[in-house]
Chains A and B, each alone.
Chain A
């Protein structure tokens, strides 16, 4: 046991002292933060002010549309589902009205749009009230937000006119056409927590990336550490003092402790900076983050599922390291082991949206995917306690088998040099040990 501690200590100190550890510790949160903030920033920039012209013989209708467009920037409404409701994306409109449609005007406006003097123009025929059809010309057909807003303003203007015809006052029709608010409320053990769509989506996603990256990176660290001892032949000296089992255990625990240290630093930094960071994100993303929070269960269970996932993959990676002579060789063998992790990432998006499908359930029970998928489910919903317990139990049981299996491969593999073993040879190792 004392020897295992010594190995743990060495693995830990050697890794924590490296520049790579410090850089990764600082960079990872920055990268994830940038991943959230940059896209929204970019979308903000593309908004800006749009110069458009509304051409309609009916000046009342045209002015009504103009008013709606001008108001649309500030209004918080729409029937769009909540996660998509990102108000700041909307551009401001600088609208002018022309009530004398003619082919010459259409030509002139087309030229102006082409030359960039104008962002677009809406062409509304006289019979538009009955056909409910109009044309919107713009340089960029993909800029659907713009067209959507024009269409919406058009629809509102038509509805207002209709309502006015039925004797509704302007204020009454405004209320009628105004938005309704449906907030999502997540019900969990602690009671009801009001959480807004996008925040509820982003935070689990953040946690998903964090657990995926740490499991993968620290698993690969174990593999590289095994290969390093093998290729530098320290292994031979070490085996004169310790058993392969002690060595493997020390290595996996030592590297895992480095992972926990890193997560601890992130959690501490997150708590301290979180308030500031969240405020910044809120500024960019609007109110959508206002109720974003990580539940207590998700906080406490992060290290648990990290350790389960890490230990599972560390065993597999240790076995791969023992089979290989160099990092290059290991890269090829690594892929089949990394595959379930990639599968987790692919399925995770769907599972965050709908955490209680049969697929989500089975993936959160299968030992190679359960640590990540179960954790994702916990962070977005409240799976039944028995499922969480079952997932952890299956994970631990399979880990026991995995340690047994990989320690045998490890024992024989670390002393083998030269050709990479074939599958039948590896099976022989398992029996032999």
Chain B
């Protein structure tokens, strides 16, 4: 299988602080890959090494099967977490300038910018200055800047942040469309619901290290149907019973919980019915958010121990 990106034992330290610690993963061509982790886990440091902004202390980064070089970066698109555009310049000027830096000629860049603005409902804003736009609109412009040179590999750091539901929907369709064209996409986010729907594989990093890596479907399957989604009215004291419940995420009248090892879901239902009215009871695979919280918490416990 051809890999768009290969990280091999990449390490980056700032003084004493190790931001990225021997991180290795590969992204197969044409996949949507999720790089997940809590704040400060080393996601941005990792991404910066993928596009040559910083150089790893040790380990290797390979892009399109070759060691990372400036020339290859023209085939990479980057949407940074912190939005960055020239505020005093017009949208079109911003887009054309950034496309030119990636080697696209002005007429072609202008044509593509128009097309993209049209597609993302910004056709009327081309001649406005960036500072006049709302946050969500700036976000869309930033996205266009990352894809206008039709890169084969896109690195998108929190692409959905600041977008309203309609905007998110449009962007999701665009991403699926890009995937259909065979492009590889790396997502960096802590918004689990989008990852769950879009990603093929994930790498969960915490404190600079990979704690969970693999194909999303397989990861979820490995956890089995050991989770319960419950809609209820009343009290559920059983949530604190360690013989039944390993962990839970309670929303007041809805709860997601992981069964304790060996616990019987049937028994859980019986106990629950004694103290509350149950409107829905479903045995499911754990959501990615649960896996995320669970893994992050358990690695934290290991590190603190």
Interface residues of A (CB under 8 A from B): 2-3, 6, 10, 14, 228-229, 232-243, 415
Contact = CB atoms under 8 A, between A and B. Distances in A.
Contact of A234 (B53, B85, B102): B85
Contacts of A243: 70
A10 B95 CA distance: 12
A236 B101 contact: no
Contacts of B84: 229, 232-238
Contacts of A241: 73-74, 98, 101-102
A237 B82 CA distance: 10
A239 B53 contact: yes
6 contacts: A229-B84, A236-B80, A238-B84, A239-B51, A240-B78, A241-B98
Nearest to A414: B53
A240 B53 contact: yes
A236 B97 CA distance: 15
A232 B73 contact: no
Chain A interface helix/strand/loop/mixed: helix
Contact of B85 (A2, A6, A10, A232): A232
Given A3-B101, A232-B86, 8 more contacts: A233-B82, A234-B86, A235-B84, A238-B84, A240-B78, A241-B73, A241-B102, A415-B48
B42 to A, nearest CB: 15
Given A14-B88, A233-B80, A6 B51 contact: no
Please provide the 4 A-B residue pairs with the shortest distance between their CB atoms, ordered closest to farther.
A233-B84, A234-B84, A240-B78, A241-B101
Contacts of A238: 84, 101
Interface of B: 48, 51-54, 70, 73-74, 76, 78, 80, 82-89, 97-98, 100-103, 142, 145
Nearest to B78: A240
Chain B interface helix/strand/loop/mixed: loop
Given A236-B53, A241-B102, A14 B89 contact: yes
Contacts of B80: 233, 236-237, 240
Contacts of B78: 236-237, 240
Nearest to B155: A240
Nearest to B94: A234
A239 B51 CA distance: 8
Given A236-B53, A237-B145, A6 B97 contact: yes
Contacts of A415: 48, 53-54
Nearest to B79: A237
B67 to A, nearest CB: 17
A229 to B, nearest CB: 8
A6 B100 contact: yes
Nearest to B50: A240
Contacts of B52: 239
A240 B51 contact: yes
A218 B200 CA distance: 51
Nearest to A416: B14
